[in-house]
Amino acid sequence: MDDERVIEGDGFHWDCSQRTRIMGVLNVTPDSFYDGGRYWDPLTAVRHGQRLAEEGADAIDVGGESTRPGAEPVSLEEELRRVIPVIEKLKDRIEQPVSVDTRKAEVARRAVSAGARMVNDVSGLTADPDMAGTVAASGIPVVIMHTAGTPRDMQKNPGYRDTVGQIVEWLDARIEHAVARGIRRSRIIIDPGIGFGKRLSDNLLLIRSLASFRKLHRPILIGPSRKSFIGRVLDAEKDDRMEGTAAAVALSVANGASIVRVHDVREMSRVVRMTDAICKARQE
């Protein structure tokens, strides 16, 4: 078993060396960059989460605060109002684990009580000083993502001397912080943060160089789905970025991703299955 691709938590075990996992995106927000407002109603959100599970998602990531470039933060009370009813209903209707996409420790704590089995923190445990301790106490896996700044200002003037090296170093430090706060290493997933404080060239280079992150010995999650860097390369609006997303997903898997976070689960699960088959092919 390849330990760097294994994720373990209380009641949770994924061996991603067997196959790449799919995380389906479920935004319960009015302003997310692609699906904002589509699943604003809790029952509509739950039905969409069920559909993503049926289409092949291995986990559903529920978010109640948009983290698109320029987004304003929402209050704790509003974020709880958005996500908790959806998590409570969805976890009873699907077999797959529900993840909560949040930067707030109290949202994470309440989401876990409601049935969430993973935390996805786009701030890399930096936004809330209580997040690491909350995750450690919960015993569930956590995604630690790299970002530069906050969603409100992260795209104003990003820049790196050594994009890959600096982000690897930053994630390494955040892993050690998490471990020092009581999070078991086997519960940590890393994400280089495509689109979060990155230039076009940075996003492309990160996907091409994803294998460099394997030195951190933790499963890699990547979320290129329909993002603006694809639009800039293809001169395509957000509704016309399926093929670009497929290319980014396939190369990410080939270069070492263990989990891909996507909006279009049915289509991208096929891309992942085909890429896995090619990458694992052996002479008979």
Residues belonging to the active site: 227, 261
Q: What is the CA radius of gyration of the chain?
A: 17
CA–CA separation, 188 and 233 (whole Å) = 32
